[in-house]
């Protein structure tokens, strides 16, 4: 009896995204040479002949275009450059997170200022900030103090952020969400 190991742990082989050489099945294609100059619209056979003369590959760049756009390049070098570009974009992509700061309705001035400084740092890094006032037990009857605290918080950050979600009540919590304001950063 022959046993085959499970395939769920094996990494699937990545198929290349672009069609190359004989895989291109459009009747007419727009061709760009390896230096970026357009060669015009021609059949796949003509483009393959030109690519073979230059010892390069014909790679389909834009299959949705009418006619599809193909480029004559060295496919190994092209796929390496494409992979490098995608890796750079993933690395430099801004990952915006929600940072939460919690207050009690009786938060002292020093503690409030300390948390505002933290909120400024988060906003400078490009993150959203959620300020939450927590009420315990019967403290919810002092809701106006929590609203006043959140209004002070919004005023303290209005030079670098804007309100993403107005002050709202969620059970025994009051919260407001601030998001970085890129227009206010440019003015500085």
Is 130 a residue whose pLDDT tops 90?
A: yes
Task: Check residue 5 and give its pLDDT.
Answer: 64
Residue 68, token pair as written in the block: 């599809």
Residue 110, token pair as written in the block: 């020093």
Task: Check residue 181 and give its pLDDT.
Answer: 82
Is 16 a residue whose pLDDT tops 60?
A: no
* pLDDT, tens only, 80-129: 888 898 888 887 776 678 889 999 988 889 999 999 999 999 998 888 99
* pLDDT, tens only, 21-78: 888 888 899 999 888 888 899 998 999 999 999 889 888 888 888 889 999 999 889 8
Question: Rounded mean pLDDT of 158-173?
Answer: 89
By CB atoms closer than 10 A (0-12, 13-18, 19+), residue 147 is: middle
CA distances from 120 to 127, 153, 154, 168 (A): 10, 11, 11, 21
Is 4 a residue whose pLDDT tops 80?
A: no
Inter-residue contact 15 to 49 (CB < 8 Å): no
Is 131 a residue whose pLDDT tops 90?
A: yes
Q: Which residue has the tokens 């990952």?
A: 95
Q: Report the C-alpha gap between 144 and 62 in whole angstroms.
A: 59
- Strand duo 38-43 + 28-32: pairing: antiparallel
Instruction: Domains for the chain: give ranges and CATH numbers.
Output: 21-82 (3.10.20.80), 98-187 (3.30.110.10)
Task: Check residue 14 and give its pLDDT.
Answer: 56
Task: Check residue 10 and give its pLDDT.
Answer: 63
Task: Check residue 31 and give its pLDDT.
Answer: 92
**pTM for the full predicted model:** 0.51
């Amino acid at each position: 009896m022959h046993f085959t190991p499970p395939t769920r742990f094996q990494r699937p082989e990545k198929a290349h995204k672009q069609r190359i050489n004989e895989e291109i099945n459009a009747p007419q294609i727009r061709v760009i040479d390896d230096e970026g100059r357009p060669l015009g619209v021609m059949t796949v056979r003509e483009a393959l002949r030109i690519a073979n003369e230059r010892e390069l590959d014909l790679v389909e760049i834009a299959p949705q275009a009418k006619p599809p756009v193909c480029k004559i390049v060295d496919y190994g070098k092209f796929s390496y450059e494409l992979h490098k570009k995608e890796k750079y974009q993933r690395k430099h992509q801004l990952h915006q997170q929600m940072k939460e700061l919690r207050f009690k309705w009786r938060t002292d001035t020093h503690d409030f200022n300390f948390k505002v400084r933290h909120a400024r740092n988060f906003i400078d890094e490009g993150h959203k900030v959620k300020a939450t006032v927590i009420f315990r037990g019967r403290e919810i009857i002092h809701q106006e103090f929590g609203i006043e605290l959140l209004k002070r918080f919004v005023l303290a950050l209005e030079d670098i952020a804007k309100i993403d979600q107005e002050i709202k009540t969620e059970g025994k919590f009051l919260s407001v969400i601030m998001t970085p304001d890129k227009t206010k950063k440019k003015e500085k």
